[in-house]
């Protein structure tokens, strides 16, 4: 069996790859592994369980809750809330475990199970590996040690989670948003109620789109992966800016008043300068990934800030931040981690802090984002290939070498297997868009030929 856990939990097509049986078994295994690790020692364990609005989240939530309770874990069911809300509540409520049912930006048929450790942090790799091993051991026949009587877990709804999380978001803002008109695209996802409430409490005038989840329309032509509706709405309503989330609201992308995209690199750059000014950017350092635009690195250097680069995945950004005590990190895709206020990427918090900077400076978002110039970057996703052979294919290595020689010092190439989807991502950066597109197209063809 291949590794179940990817870079962001266990994902698959709900009721096909990701079944109720798998969700239940993983939850029981997680409870046993954390008990073995001493997490539950000396007290009755508690877990926070939340989900995004996907239809499949209803039965998967039931399976996870059943698994945890059967293993003797009390469950606080918080309902439809963003992933960062479940992480926050896990820490704020002193819970031993958090579980989020979501496939983030993926299409509606997918879903996922993501575990948080005590404090709201992502589980360490070794714990995930142990959960997989224990799950597989019991899936093939070894019986579970099950509590009975008063030892079984109790389940209750924790409706206070919504207000507790929104109050936290508004309380950590450096200033209010009065005078700003903001369009919010909630991707028909987990932030459909949280985000409008938070922005309104912070003083903004809001217009919402993509805020009517029905279980089937999550990420469907809207949200951070489809910005056209937000761009049009910002211009139509004469808004100061637009904020777009993905399905579980751990991402944030933005749109300026003219309808131009402001990506995660630009958001990081704006927040880095704001935090440096406030004295909260520890070490004058920002953490980002190898996918960050070269223009971001150059902008940070011009500003006298340090730039630490990691592998792709917000978990690797977070690891570097925690190891060295840095306060800000993120990804071009809009995962932004402000470690003083969140343990994971939080799209609503990011959007609020970006808007707060616009309000505090009185400058339009386009001017603030202009601190960095994005070099042309082309990304092509190549599906239906054996992504496990990216690093071992000699044919592919030759194609990459030829591309790098063509680009020279004016650009770069990055090939990587997706951590959450069955595809290979080809990224090319170059001095002009035409060259980047041509090189990326040839490399995508090479990936299909070598790995198809």
Domain of residue 297, CATH code: 3.40.120.10
Q: Which of 142, 159, 176 is the last residue of a domain?
A: 159
Residues 150 and 171 in one domain: no
Q: Interior CA angle at 161 toward 158 and 166, to 5°? A: 165
Residues 191 and 337 in one domain: yes
Q: What is the pLDDT along the chain (452 residues), one digit of tens a residue?
A: 457 888 778 999 999 999 999 999 999 999 999 999 999 988 999 999 999 999 999 999 999 999 999 999 999 999 999 999 999 999 999 999 999 999 999 999 999 999 999 999 989 889 999 999 999 999 887 789 999 999 999 999 999 999 999 999 999 999 999 999 999 999 999 999 999 999 999 999 999 999 999 999 999 999 999 999 999 999 999 999 999 999 999 999 999 999 999 999 999 999 999 999 999 999 999 999 988 988 898 899 999 999 999 988 888 899 999 999 999 999 999 999 999 999 999 999 999 999 999 999 999 999 999 999 888 889 999 998 888 888 888 888 999 999 999 888 778 898 888 876 778 999 998 888 899 999 999 999 999 888 88
CATH number at residue 420: 3.30.310.50
Residues 361 and 386 in one domain: no
pTM summary value: 0.89
Residues 300 and 385 in one domain: no
- φ and ψ of 144, to 5 deg: -80, 150
Residues 124 and 271 in one domain: no
Q: Please check if 250 is assigned to a binding site.
A: yes
Catalytic residue among 27, 56, 102, 104: 104
- Give tens-digit pLDDT for 114-161: 999 999 998 988 999 999 999 999 988 778 999 999 999 999 999 999
First to last CA, the chain: 21
Question: What pLDDT score does 1 carry?
Answer: 46
Query: What are 291's two structure tokens?
Result: 């996918």
Residues 303 and 365 in one domain: yes
Residues 192 and 270 in one domain: yes
Q: Please check if 185 is assigned to a binding site.
A: no
Residues 186 and 56 in one domain: no
Task: Determine which helix (DSSP H) or strand (DSSP E) holds 429, and give its type and residue range.
Answer: strand 423-429
Asked if residues 45 and 96 have their Cβ atoms less than 8 Å apart, the reply is: yes
Residues 405 and 291 in one domain: no
Extended beta strands in 29-109, E state: 46-51, 74-80, 97-101
d(CA 151, CA 77): 19
Annotated active-site residue 418? The verdict is: no
d(CA 189, CA 180): 24
Which residue stretches of 172-291 are H helix? 194-201, 228-237, 264-278
Q: Please check if 104 is assigned to a binding site.
A: yes
d(CA 9, CA 100): 9
Cα 437 to chain centroid distance, Å, stands at: 27
Count up the domains in the chain and report the number.
3
Residue with tokens 């489809």: 226
In terms of residue numbers, what domain contains 87? Answer: 10-159
What letter would DSSP give residue 224? Answer: G
- Give tens-digit pLDDT for 317-343: 999 999 999 999 999 999 999 999 999
Residues 343 and 425 in one domain: no
């Amino acid at each position: 069996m291949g590794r179940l856990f990817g870079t962001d939990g266990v994902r698959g097509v709900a009721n096909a790859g990701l079944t109720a049986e798998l969700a239940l078994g993983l939850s029981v295994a997680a409870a046993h592994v954390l008990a073995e690790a001493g997490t539950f020692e000396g007290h009755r364990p508690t877990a926070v369980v939340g989900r995004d609005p996907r239809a499949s989240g209803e039965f998967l939530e039931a399976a996870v809750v059943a698994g945890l309770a059967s293993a003797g874990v009390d469950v606080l069911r918080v309902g439809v809330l963003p992933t960062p809300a479940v992480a926050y509540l896990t820490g704020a409520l002193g819970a031993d475990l958090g579980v989020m049912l979501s496939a983030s930006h993926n299409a509606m048929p997918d879903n996922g199970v993501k575990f948080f450790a005590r404090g709201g942090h992502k589980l360490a790799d070794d714990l995930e590996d142990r959960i997989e091993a224990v799950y597989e051991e019991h899936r093939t026949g070894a019986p579970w040690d099950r509590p009975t009587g008063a030892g079984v877990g109790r389940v209750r709804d924790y409706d206070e989670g919504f207000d507790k999380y929104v109050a936290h978001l508004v309380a950590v803002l450096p200033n209010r948003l009065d005078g700003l008109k903001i369009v919010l695209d909630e991707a028909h996802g987990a932030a459909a109620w949280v985000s409008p409430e938070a922005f309104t409490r912070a003083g903004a005038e809001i217009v919402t789109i993509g805020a009517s989840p029905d279980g089937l329309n999550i990420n469907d032509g809207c949200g951070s992966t489809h910005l056209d509706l937000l761009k049009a709405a910002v211009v139509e309503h004469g808004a100061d800016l637009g904020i777009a989330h993905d399905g579980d609201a751990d991402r944030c992308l933005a749109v300026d008043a003219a309808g131009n995209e402001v990506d995660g690199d630009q958001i990081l750059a704006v927040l880095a300068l704001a935090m440096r000014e406030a004295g909260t950017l520890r070490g004058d350092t920002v953490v980002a990934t190898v996918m960050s635009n070269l223009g971001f690195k150059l902008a940070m250097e011009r500003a006298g800030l340090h730039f630490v680069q990691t592998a792709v995945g917000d978990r690797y950004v977070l690891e570097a931040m925690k190891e060295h005590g840095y306060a800000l990190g993120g990804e071009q895709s809009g995962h932004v981690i402000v470690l003083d206020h969140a343990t994971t990427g939080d799209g609503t918090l990011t959007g609020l802090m970006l808007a707060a900077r616009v309000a505090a400076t009185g400058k339009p978002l386009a001017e603030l984002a202009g601190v960095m110039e994005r070099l042309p970057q082309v990304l092509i996703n190549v599906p239906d290939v054996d992504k496990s052979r990216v690093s071992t294919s000699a044919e592919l290595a030759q194609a990459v070498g030829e591309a790098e020689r063509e680009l020279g010092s004016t650009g770069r190439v990055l090939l990587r297997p997706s951590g959450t989807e069955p595809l290979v991502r080809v990224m090319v950066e170059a001095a002009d868009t035409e060259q980047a597109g041509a090189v990326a197209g040839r490399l995508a063809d090479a990936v299909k030929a070598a790995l198809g």
